[in-house]
Amino acid sequence: MTEAPHIVCPHCHTTNRVQAADLGNAPDCGKCHQPLFAGAPLELDGNSFDRHVGRSQIPVLVDFWAPWCGPCLQMAPAFAQAARELEPHVRVAKLNTEAQQAIAARYAIRSIPTMILFQQGREVARISGALGAADIVRWVRTAAG
């Protein structure tokens, strides 16, 4: 990670430069002054997905899910708990594949839930199936290096 990684605001989607040493001090967005991290998964849509995945210089973990998927709904609390443990060093986000079918197709999502870890805009790891919070955290930390 760079000394001052770019972090995309979950509220206004502005790219912020944050000193690495300040990541743990609840940094705010320079534009909208909202917290850059909420300790909860960020809901992405077609407009925000590419910005967060492509511009963030911290890893971005995306859960590809759908509202009709039982395992997705079962995993949601564990994913939220993983967000609390992984942020601010990993952006944790969700993408509804039902609402964002083009993005799901771009990444060849064949089963859900599927989690993809992105770094510098590129997919670096992928896993399918519902996991518990500890398993999600362990997988991300291993895959992120």
Strand 15-17 to 60-65 pairing = unpaired
Both tokens of 59, joined, read: 């890893």
Where on the phi/psi map is residue 108: left (φ > 0), alpha (ψ -120 to 50), or beta?
Answer: left
Q: Is 9 a catalytic residue?
A: no
Three-state secondary structure call for residue 30: coil
Three-state secondary structure call for residue 27: coil
Q: Is 12 a catalytic residue?
A: no
Residue 72 backbone dihedrals phi, psi, to 5 degrees: -65, -45
Among 16, 30, 33, residue whose Cα is nearest residue 88? 16
The residues that are catalytic are 69, 72
